[in-house]
Amino acid sequence: MSRYRRARVPGGTYFFTVVTERRQPILTRTDVRQALREAIVLVRETLPFRIDGWVLLPDHLHALWTLPEGDADFSTRWRLIKRHVTRTCGPVYTRPDHLTERRAAKHCGTLWQHRFWEHLIRDERDFRQHLDYLHGNPLKHGLVERVADWPWSSFHRWARQGVYPTDWAGVGNDGLVAEG
């Protein structure tokens, strides 16, 4: 079995995908959203990071973060965020049918997949492609007809700043950006 090695660049910008266990569609529920918001605020008090982009979908989320100079520890941040959400909401969303021996032995909940996926952003073009991808994700998954209609996205902030037109179409299934 190969060992996955994460790219760790202090002060780097990273794109993340974090998924619920077995794709449970619970992340857009009010209690989970609130717990996630609280977790981010709490973690940023001691381990700061900038959220450059964000989209929350029912069963996964995408985020673009920039870490402080000299700091490459995104794993601890995600571990603390996921743990807070699990402790806050886990009892409501515990799924005994998802509790494997491994999860039980590690005292894990059944809300999140164990890991997350990350990509180190290489340059401005890479940043923009990933920002477009995350903002277009609700459209890609058929959750809305217009990117602007999805409430749990940093698209609205970027549109207010003039980076996107409010009628921006998003990313098509072919991966190409369709301009608004």
User: Above pLDDT 90, what percent of the chain?
Assistant: 74
Q: Hey, which CATH number is domain 13-122, 3.30.70.1290, 3.40.1110.10, 3.50.50.60, 3.20.20.70?
A: 3.30.70.1290
Mean pLDDT of the chain: 89
What's the pTM value of the predicted model, to 2 decimals? 0.87
Interval 130-179: pLDDT, tens: 999 999 999 999 999 999 999 999 999 999 999 999 999 875 444 444 44
pLDDT exceeds 70 at position 45: yes
Which one is predicted more confidently, 123 or 113? Answer: 123
pLDDT tens for each residue of 2-13? 565 678 899 999
Mean pLDDT for 60-64 is: 98
Asked if 130 and 64 count as a contact pair (C-beta separation under 8 A), the reply is yes
User: Looking at residue 39, what is its pLDDT?
Assistant: 98
DSSP letters spanning 108-143: --SSB-S--EEEE--SHHHHHHHHHHHHHHHHHTTS
Position 98 pLDDT exceeds 80:
no
Residue found under tokens 């996926």: 117
Residue 110's pLDDT is: 73
pLDDT at 174: 46
Across residues 80-90, what is the average pLDDT? Answer: 93
Give the pLDDT score at 93: 76
If you average pLDDT over residues 50-73, what whole number do you get?
Answer: 98
Asked if residue 103 lies in contact with residue 170, where contact means CB atoms within 8 angstroms, the answer is no
Domain ranges of the chain: 13-122
